[in-house]
Amino acid sequence: MSQEVPWKPEAEQELARRLGRLGWAGERALALRRRVEAVTRGRGRRTVAVADLDEAQAQSMGGGPRETPPATRGLAWDPDARRNLEQETIYLRERLRQRVEALARESGQTRVTLDLVTQVRQAPSPGMARRAAETVPAV
């Protein structure tokens, strides 16, 4: 039998919200919980995050694992930057990747770093992200 994986508080709250919305309890709720924990273990994580819940839900809706596409158009991703992107919910991950890569290209960078991903996450709009890029040195 597999070991239980600890849950982040926000993931626990989101699971409870979704179970309540679905009206699931008992065995169905436990099955979903175990499926999410399996996704977490499969991603090599020690703690369940909301992104793992999203991934399990996406898989149960007929899709296989939803991996972030590899870096495109000559941009390399640092491992830390890639891991940070993978923690984003499945619904926002692709948009974040697009924004990060667009900013990297606009600022003449060939490598996506964790600092760049962090700047894009903190920027309230694409326009703000462009202004932030002026402070990121090209690699």
Instruction: Please indicate, yes or no, whether residues 102 and 55 belong to a single structural domain of this protein.
Output: no
Q: Judge whether residue 8 has pLDDT over 50.
A: yes
Instruction: Please indicate, yes or no, whether residues 96 and 53 belong to a single structural domain of this protein.
Output: no
**pLDDT tens figures, 53-63:** 888 877 766 55
Q: What is the pLDDT of residue 89?
A: 75
CATH of the domain at 117: 1.10.8.550
Instruction: Please indicate, yes or no, whether residues 91 and 128 belong to a single structural domain of this protein.
Output: yes
- pTM assigned to the model: 0.46
Q: What is the pLDDT of residue 1?
A: 46
Within 13 Å of residue 106, how many CA atoms lie on the same side as its CB?
A: 18
Instruction: Please indicate, yes or no, whether residues 81 and 127 belong to a single structural domain of this protein.
Output: yes
Q: Judge whether residue 73 has pLDDT over 90.
A: no
Within 13 Å of residue 118, how many CA atoms lie on the same side as its CB?
A: 7
- For 24, the enclosing helix (H) or strand (E) is none
End-to-end CA distance of the chain: 47
**How many residues can be counted in the chain?**
139
- For 77, the enclosing helix (H) or strand (E) is strand 76-77
Q: Judge whether residue 23 has pLDDT over 50.
A: yes
